[in-house]
């Protein structure tokens, strides 16, 4: 039986050989430069139509066609024989011996580098887990028996070895102390100390600083020990006290043209709080029935949340009971047995 693939190749070769001259002519026509001719003119549509009609009438009447003859096995065998005669098959050679170990290493390396290996591992793991649970189905557990647990704990405690009494450490002897001290002194031998420094003299210089001199001849300044003269005291000839609603009680002392004021602050009440009202430290505000004292100058709302600005001076009192109406008689009320 003819191999269809070889037969197809043979037919393809025959077709290529047949159309090779046509392809060459097409290539020559493409490479040939067009020759410049005379300017053309527009065709006459009526003349073109007449030429087409004349050409159609001159065509012979078409005859009925017939199907192509089927290709027989003998024809196929003949073509195959021609092909084999023109292209004899050369004898083959044995394949090279395959290194099975190297091939296996190559396959494993390819698998390790491939993303498909993770999928294969996941599938194998899932299948193994599913088979395990199929062979060993999960069963519901049951509550532990408290009595059984207590017995197990008691048995474990009873199995522990009995503790033994410890013993006091041996007292440290003087010989051991002496040995340790000698070892320390051997590792860290004492060194001679530096000569002591004595005081050779002391004086107060013009700037009022105390300066001492050591036996080494060094001068050490210990700072100022004599203070500067104070400013003249203020004597007053007049004294006056006034009340300033904004500042408090103001005491003014005077001597000649000199004046000195002393302000005794007091808590100034600024009334009821309103949005945007600014107060100074020490001033008070009434808000929501409570008295608030400003800790510092601010314009915030008096409340516990603003504890950095306000201190609660007095809380709002409880509401009093409703009063009772008293009916006053229209007639005079007698007092002491007589009419007022």
pTM: 0.26
Please state, in angstroms and as integers, the Cα–Cα distance from residue 156 to each residue in 20, 144, 153, 159, following that order: 102, 17, 5, 5
Instruction: Record the tokens describing residue 282, joined without a space.
Output: 């020490």
Q: 290-313, pLDDT tens digit by residue?
A: 999 999 999 999 999 999 999 998
Confidence of residue 33 (pLDDT cuts 50, 70, 90): low
Q: What is the pLDDT of residue 340?
A: 44
- Report the alpha-carbon distance of residue 312 to residue 302 in Å, rounded: 8
Q: 181-218, pLDDT tens digit by residue?
A: 788 878 888 777 777 777 777 788 888 888 888 888 88
Computed over every residue of the chain, the mean pLDDT equals 75
- Report the alpha-carbon distance of residue 129 to residue 137 in Å, rounded: 11
Q: 134-169, pLDDT tens digit by residue?
A: 787 766 667 777 788 778 877 877 777 777 777 777
- Report the alpha-carbon distance of residue 123 to residue 131 in Å, rounded: 12
Is pLDDT above 90 for 110?
no
Is pLDDT above 80 for 252?
yes
DSSP 277: -
- Residue 234 backbone dihedrals phi, psi, to 5 degrees: -100, 120
């Amino acid at each position: 039986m003819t191999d269809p693939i070889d037969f197809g190749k043979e037919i393809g070769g025959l077709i290529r050989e047949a159309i090779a001259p046509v392809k060459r002519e097409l290539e020559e026509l493409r490479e040939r430069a067009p020759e410049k001719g005379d300017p053309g003119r527009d065709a006459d549509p009526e003349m073109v139509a007449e030429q087409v009609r004349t050409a159609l009438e001159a065509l012979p009447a078409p005859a009925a066609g017939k199907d192509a003859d089927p290709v027989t096995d003998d024809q196929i065998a003949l073509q195959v024989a021609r092909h084999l005669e023109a292209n004899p098959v050369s004898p083959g050679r044995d394949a090279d011996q395959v290194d099975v170990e190297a091939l296996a290493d190559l396959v494993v390396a390819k698998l390790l580098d491939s993303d498909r290996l993770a999928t294969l591992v996941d599938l194998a793991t899932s299948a193994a887990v599913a088979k395990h649970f199929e062979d060993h189905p999960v069963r519901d557990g049951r509550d532990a028996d408290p009595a059984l647990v207590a017995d197990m704990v008691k048995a474990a405690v009873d199995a522990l070895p009995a503790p033994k009494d410890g013993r006091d450490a041996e007292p440290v002897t003087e010989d051991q102390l002496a040995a340790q001290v000698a070892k320390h002194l051997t590792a860290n031998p004492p060194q001679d100390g530096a000569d002591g420094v004595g005081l050779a003299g002391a004086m107060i210089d013009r700037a009022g600083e105390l300066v001492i001199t050591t036996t080494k001849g060094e001068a050490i300044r210990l700072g100022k020990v004599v203070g500067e003269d104070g400013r003249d005291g203020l004597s007053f000839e007049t004294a006056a006290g006034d009340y300033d609603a904004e500042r408090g009680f103001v005491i003014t002392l005077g001597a000649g043209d000199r004046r000195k004021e002393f302000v005794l602050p007091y808590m100034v009440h600024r009334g009821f709080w309103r949005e945007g009202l600014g107060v100074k430290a020490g001033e008070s505000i009434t808000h929501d029935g409570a008295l608030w004292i400003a800790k510092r100058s601010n314009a915030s709302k008096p409340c516990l949340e603003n504890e950095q600005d306000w201190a609660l001076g007095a809380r709002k009192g409880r509401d009093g009971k409703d009063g009772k109406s008293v009916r006053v008689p229209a007639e005079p009320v007698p007092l002491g047995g007589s009419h007022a």
